[in-house]
Amino acid sequence: MPNQSLDAGKLAAWVGRSETITDQIDIGRAVAMAATLDSPVSLAIGDSLPPLWHWLYFWSAIPASQLGTDGHAQRGEFLPPVTLPRRMWAGGRLKFLAPLPLGAQAERVSRIKAVDVKQGKSGPLVFVTVAHDISVQARLVIQEEHDIVYRDTLQAGDSSFNAKLAPTDAHWSRQISPDPVQLFRYSALTFNGYRIHYDRTYTTEVEGYPGLIVHGPLIASLLTDLVSRELPDRTIAEFSFRAIAPLFDTEPFSVHGRLEPEGKQVVLWAANSRGELAMQAEAQLR
């Protein structure tokens, strides 16, 4: 009997489903984010929120009774009812059309854009793409497509990630030493209950990873933060990223950037301590 959770026709029924959340872009969360990234940015009401920091807002405050065993909301409401246990933020594409000011009231409209069932080398995969439109006073300021991938349980001795060496031609680099405090802070700021980021027993014994997993959006935020540090007079107009392999709190990692010759594009990546690629990204500059 086929696994009903992977019935492509059933899951396709979620395409087009939408939700709307409003939030105040309060300065307190932004100040806490700067501390979490150890960023030197100074912030004041009316300033433009740094790129990707909108992920601190628009929480889906799901009651505790409606959470799954992994700490996420139970599936089958906004997101489709995929029962594959491991969920990852696979990547995304964003356009920053106008500033998102600190202190503003903003609205995010989210829509399930696509649901695809595939068979990978390590087993079944389900890809879900969510489109987000963020507006301030009816003016669209951010457009985003967010890719989620669901995988089966990690088996002992199995790895669904093929090691690939990262580039070595960076113009800028920064070493990051992740620890449980930083991961807890980011989980709290994004109201992310997924236990792989703070519950070591669950992460190692249930999902089979060697340590706490560094959030994909945290890595992406460290990449855009690197651009802001190195090019403080430029702004990011578009950003895209793709997760290649997980990073863990058991070892340091590094973020890197290279400004292309025409000065309009930055190639970015994150690598583990062995120089293996963990995330690749691109930023288009104004």
Task: Domains for the chain: give ranges and CATH numbers.
Answer: 4-285 (3.10.129.10)
For position 66, what pLDDT does the model report? 78
Packing angle, helices 180-189 and 27-37, rounded to 10: 160
The pLDDT tens digits of the residues spanning 84-107 come to 878 889 999 999 999 999 999 999
The pLDDT tens digits of the residues spanning 132-153 come to 999 999 999 999 999 999 888 7
CA 5 – CA 77 distance, rounded (Å): 14
Beta carbons within 8 Å of 273's beta carbon, 6+ residues apart: 251, 252, 253, 254
Question: Is 115 in contact with 15 (CB distance < 8 Å)?
Answer: yes
- 3-state class (DSSP) for residue 285: strand
CA 121 – CA 119 distance, rounded (Å): 7
CA 178 – CA 247 distance, rounded (Å): 9
The pLDDT tens digits of the residues spanning 62-80 come to 888 877 787 777 776 788 8
CA 188 – CA 95 distance, rounded (Å): 25
Hey, what amino acid is at 39? S
